[in-house]
Structure 1
Amino acid sequence: MPLYIYFIIISVCFLKIELVKITYHFLLFSFFSINLILTLRDKSIYIYTNVIIIVQNTPMSYSTMIHRRLFMQSFRRFIFPILIILFFIATLFSINHNDSHPSHIQNASMDLSDWNANQIIDLDGEWEFFNHSLLEDISGTGTLVNVPHYWENNPVYGNLPYGYATYRLTITGLNEDQVYGISLIDAGTSYRLSVNGNIIMSNGVVSRTSDNYEPYWRSEVGYFSADQNGVAVLTMEISNYDHYQAGFWIPLNISNGSTLFNYEIIHYVIIAILFGVMMALGIYFITLHLLSRKEQKALSLGLFSILISMRLIFTGHRLILILFPFLSWNTVIRMDYVAGMLILPVFGLFMSRLQFIPIKRQLEYFYFILSLLIILFGLVLPTLYLPDMLTMFKLLVVGFSPFYIYTLYCGLKNQIRGSALMFISAMIMFVAVMLEFFFGGSIYNFFFASFIMISFMSIAIADEFLVIKAFSKSLESEIVIDPLTNVYNRLYLNKLIENESKGRNPLSGYYHLLFLDLDNFKNINDSYGHIIGDVILSIISERLRSFFGEQSNIIRYGGDEFIVLYESAAETNIETIIQSFKQYLEKEIYIDGNPYQVKGSIGHCPYHSKHDRLEDAIKNSDAHMYKQKQTTMQQN
């Protein structure tokens, strides 16, 4: 039941786990989550049992992986939006909860004399099966098969499950004055359902040959009444000449007509709400990226959210076909596969841009190439081969999942803001994905988990963005611009160091910190006066801005010393860039027609906003600059 969401959050918030015991607690957490996801409302005692197991098996002396202070600060700060999200998703989960009950039909006959028609039941179990037959071909008794039922490969069609067949079930004990409803998401890959010889619903065109056959997948509801004897004979005709699987793979649901109608409407409303919210979040974060180009995380999260919302309407009840019924089966299934498989590389880009651990640029190239291949093959390959792509996709998901979990673990270990929320939501998502891949879990568990993860990560990313904006605004209200050179002054640098120590570093990514000291600048002041010296300093700062660009932070450290925070990739050849700048720096400066030349010594040090201390980088670049100056003096 949805209570599992609350217990996951509460239990994880108080855990402290050492690296040496991470495997033990990960398995325990997975068992806990899987058990709770599968627990129905009337089995809530298991929730209490699992909470007791975790409490009793979690020593409170652990201190390596999850820091209590970080969790409690994040929990207090985000408790209100978290509770709103959990309440929202728990409500949707409760409404969406499948109240249908299995019937376990035997001998293709079912007596519903004692059935409460307001109850939804699955028509699973033994049906009569007539292979290579349609309704008009049926005579005698068919072979009993268990529904859900998948067809075997047919050697006539190259060992593919192609062909046509009919299933039959007899229901007795019905009320002839009652209107009943039957619902079905899909069957493979076209079907026609008749009750007492009357067609009540269909998908596509059922045919004996591929020439006249047309596949189609859309959730349908049909209505019927029993004959005067209270009997309803259900015949399900199915044909397939396109898909790698075929058969009667999802049991029918039967209930009172109005009950089933309301049940289906609720499903569509929930799907529409989730679609709307996730699409809105996606658009919001893409807009955030457009307003602030440095917000690469926002772009990736926005695309991830849009892909989830797209897959939501292209699979399951396929809401897209309510909006655009003219879309072909081929288009819908390709969009389903492409949108679903693009989730991995886009999520990988998001994880890379979190910068919780150093990421090589080659990995981002891999994600881009993988995305292009998914789009290309998904649109070009015959639909028959799309499941093979899905198999490879599942292997990649299983392979990358430990890496993503480790990345978030490093964020927790380094007490990076918002990492606790991301870790919790990613673990919920991981359990839902594993359930869908390997345990036949409902696809809607994946969508609910996706919504939780996107919402939690949205909170963390939006909070980081607001912190950076608040920091920028506070800087603007103070005197952080040097009036002479029109670049940042020492106060700005001190603010950067102060906010970094508080975990609110507005810098994001990889930088090279350059420390520039003008050589013998005192002689210019002594020989030509401070007015000339001030003009030269102003021109030098303009050359710094012109060369390193507006995205770099130029800071006047003091006197004739400047610091440049140059944002670049780790593999950038900084020595070549420094030499180019020195040539630009040493160009003659003309003031009132008189030429002046200034040289400088430059030290540098790499700086990563997530792993290094800015104060240390300044000291290291200063020391390197001093060595450069000493070398120059010795050569002269």
Structure 2
Amino acid sequence: MQRSNIAFITLILFALSMAFWLNENDINQDAFLVAQNGVVRIPTIQDNETYRLKGEWEFHPNAFVHTDTSYAMTYLASNQDWSSVLGSQQGYASYVLKLTHLEPNHIYGLLLEEAGNSHRVYVNDKLILENGLVAKNALIYEPATYTTKAAFVSDEKGEARVIIEIANFDGVKGGLIQSPLFGSLNAIDYVYELTLMTEVFIFAGLLAIAFVFLFLHFIVNDVRSLFMAILSALVALRISTTGTHFIYMAIPYFDLPLIWIIRIEYLSVFLMLPVMLLLLGTFDAFNYPPKLQQFLYVPFLLMPMVIAFATEGILVVIFQIFQIVLIISAIYLIFLIVQAYRMQKIKLTRTIVIMILIFGAIAYNRLYNDRNEIAYFMLYVFILFVGTTVMKRFSLIRSHSEKLASTAKIDHLTGLFNRGHLNQLMEDSDVFELDQKYAVIFLDMNNFKEINDEYGHEIGDQVLRISAKRLRNSCHESDRIFRFGGDEFVIIARLKDEMDVKKVIKRIRDNFMEPIALNHLYLRISVAIGYTPFNPSVDNLKEVISNSDQRMYEDKRKNKFK
């Protein structure tokens, strides 16, 4: 089985295992209880059960029930926008719900997510949690958007009167965005901590992926890596603006008003689609028309400006339009996938598996529960899946670049290093160890010109190749051998002492004593050699090579070869 198939199967098994684990741990299987006329009967609950408190709560507009003495009352669904009663998104109000048939004097837990922009909760007239500063006007009020949880104790009758006072002067959806979550204290703690852990894990992983691919983009200037970095960052941003809002707890500097958090949330979602389409467009299977590719850049220019000034109502309208565009885009992508499969550009099995995981997770999120962890996790898997192809592409680019760089250093005729590489070493002597002794040997083949003239360049080339092989056999593996030009060679040899270089020169001369046999020809070649010690910390390599060249000519004259 190929490594790529093993990696893909491992990724899918990991995704399914995590989804099964999240599912089994009840993090996204919140049942619900429906209140009527402000009262809900609590069934016998197990230690690992949680319930959404939905249905009709008492609703007291423009009043804080715990402190005010007179107030109006109606009934309102816990997660319904209060503007239908208050006439505005902004304002303050109280939600009241009576829980009955609890165990007397028993500890329970309550969890609130994104309750208005500030809230405080009383149970049986005891304050159990507070988020932000609840007030009746915008001057005193201070928003906060953390997910909060607290414990409370039922009274002797097994009842609990829950009062949630909410203030919102930021122009976003008024009231409770999510129905409060109720259950045993252990279950509430577990849901909160596991949700937080899941969000932090996925957020940190996506942010790390974003930085890795951004780094790769700057290294190889690969646009696919850039789109991967942007997509990962957008999904990470989306996660940080929903659920527990952990990033705002960890870094108070980012504690923005809820309207801006919602704007960032919508912006991250809206930009995911064009980024994903641009990313897929870098693959051969998805060949978009040029005008469509250009159009996909338009949201990057327009969307931030639109989102910055849009009210929540406008954002909702834009989101409805976005969902229509999303469906059209999905159909278009399926069309391209089918086309690519017919042209054998993609492996359909992998694509189908990934698409089923993603759309299955989104459908599960929409139809079965109102939590996002599995959908986020499957998006995480999608990014990892696409990321593996980008990393494979980067690996191929790097391998190709290294091969080109290596080829650029090599003399194609002899397989030795070329003069260009030697020139690089002259400019950058840092490649040499400062405490290591070297010698630079300059070598020239005697009477090579006559052989070339008499027998032709083809024979001359073969002589050079055989000579290069003899030089390699004469030197250590750590020595660098260069073809300097024509029939001249330079060797940079590592030494223990000066005797080492003399041993190397002796081996070279001995190896060239043997005639070169080519077909019916037996050619005798001798060499003229000069060398100079080289200390990288003191000497200039270019000058050392020049000195060795002069000594080579002295050796040539001494042996009467001119």
Whole-Å separation in 2 of the counterparts to 1:301 and 1:103: 42
1:233 aligns with 2:164: no
SS at match of 1:349: helix
Q: What residue in structure 1 maps to residue 136 of structure 2?
A: 208
Q: Structure 2 vs 1, CA of residues 319 and 408 (structure 1 numbering), >3 Å: closer, same or farther?
A: farther
The answer to whether the Cα contact below 8 Å between 2:89 and 2:172 also exists between their aligned partners in 1 is yes
SS at match of 2:281: helix
Whichever residue aligns with residue 258 of structure 1, its letter is N
The answer to whether the Cα contact below 8 Å between 2:284 and 2:345 also exists between their aligned partners in 1 is no
Query: How far did residue 417 of structure 1 move?
Result: 5.2
Whole-Å separation in 2 of the counterparts to 1:284 and 1:264: 30
**Aligned residue among 369, 379, 385 for 2:314:** 385
1:302 aligns with 2:235: no
SS at match of 1:358: coil
**Aligned residue among 102, 106, 115 for 2:36:** 106
1:217 aligns with 2:145: yes
Q: What residue in structure 1 maps to residue 113 of structure 2?
A: 185
Q: Structure 2 vs 1, CA of residues 133 and 125 (structure 1 numbering), >3 Å: closer, same or farther?
A: same
How do 1:254-403 and structure 2 match up within 5 A? 254-293=182-221, 295-326=222-253, 327-329=255-257, 330-382=259-311, 385-403=314-332
1:147 aligns with 2:78: yes
Query: How far did residue 169 of structure 1 move?
Result: 1.5
1:132 aligns with 2:59: no
Fraction of identical pairs, as percent: 23
Q: Structure 2 vs 1, CA of residues 400 and 72 (structure 1 numbering), >3 Å: closer, same or farther?
A: farther
Whole-Å separation in 2 of the counterparts to 1:77 and 1:179: 47
SS at match of 2:243: coil
Query: How far did residue 131 of structure 1 move?
Result: 2.7
Q: Structure 2 vs 1, CA of residues 113 and 379 (structure 1 numbering), >3 Å: closer, same or farther?
A: closer
Q: Gaps spanning 5+ residues in structure 1: where?
A: 1-70, 487-528, 531-636
SS at match of 1:206: coil
Whole-Å separation in 2 of the counterparts to 1:229 and 1:397: 52
Whole-Å separation in 2 of the counterparts to 1:221 and 1:171: 17
The answer to whether the Cα contact below 8 Å between 1:92 and 1:270 also exists between their aligned partners in 2 is no
Q: Deviations over 1:97-136 (max 9, x none)?
A: 3343322233423444844455322222232222332213
Q: Deviations over 1:419-440 (max 9, x none)?
A: 6534532443345456767998
Q: What residue in structure 2 maps to residue 443 of structure 1?
A: 372
Whole-Å separation in 1 of the counterparts to 2:171 and 2:260: 13
Question: Taking structure 1 as the reference length, what is the TM-score of the superposition?
Answer: 0.57
Structure with greater Cα Rg: 2
Whichever residue aligns with residue 323 of structure 1, its letter is A
Whichever residue aligns with residue 226 of structure 2, its letter is L
Q: Structure 2 vs 1, CA of residues 275 and 92 (structure 1 numbering), >3 Å: closer, same or farther?
A: farther
Q: Structure 2 vs 1, CA of residues 112 and 435 (structure 1 numbering), >3 Å: closer, same or farther?
A: closer
Whole-Å separation in 2 of the counterparts to 1:78 and 1:476: 32
Whole-Å separation in 2 of the counterparts to 1:375 and 1:140: 42
Whole-Å separation in 2 of the counterparts to 1:432 and 1:138: 48
Q: Deviations over 1:291-310 (max 9, x none)?
A: 222x3222212211121111
The answer to whether the Cα contact below 8 Å between 2:361 and 2:374 also exists between their aligned partners in 1 is yes
Question: Taking structure 2 as the reference length, what is the TM-score of the superposition?
Answer: 0.64
Q: Structure 2 vs 1, CA of residues 398 and 113 (structure 1 numbering), >3 Å: closer, same or farther?
A: closer
**Aligned residue among 21, 24, 40 for 1:91:** 21
The answer to whether the Cα contact below 8 Å between 2:225 and 2:390 also exists between their aligned partners in 1 is yes
The answer to whether the Cα contact below 8 Å between 1:418 and 1:461 also exists between their aligned partners in 2 is no
Whole-Å separation in 1 of the counterparts to 2:158 and 2:271: 51
Whichever residue aligns with residue 321 of structure 1, its letter is Y
How do 1:499-578 and structure 2 match up within 5 A? none
Whole-Å separation in 1 of the counterparts to 2:367 and 2:228: 26
Q: What residue in structure 1 maps to residue 494 of structure 2?
A: none
Q: Deviations over 1:402-427 (max 9, x none)?
A: 22232333333333356653453244
Q: Structure 2 vs 1, CA of residues 203 and 308 (structure 1 numbering), >3 Å: closer, same or farther?
A: same
Whole-Å separation in 1 of the counterparts to 2:160 and 2:116: 23
Whole-Å separation in 2 of the counterparts to 1:163 and 1:188: 10
Q: Structure 2 vs 1, CA of residues 284 and 416 (structure 1 numbering), >3 Å: closer, same or farther?
A: farther
Q: How many equivalent residue pairs?
A: 414
Query: How far did residue 352 of structure 1 move?
Result: 1.5
Query: How far did residue 183 of structure 1 move?
Result: 0.4
Q: Structure 2 vs 1, CA of residues 113 and 280 (structure 1 numbering), >3 Å: closer, same or farther?
A: closer
SS at match of 2:34: coil
Whole-Å separation in 2 of the counterparts to 1:427 and 1:289: 30
Q: What residue in structure 2 maps to residue 12 of structure 1?
A: none
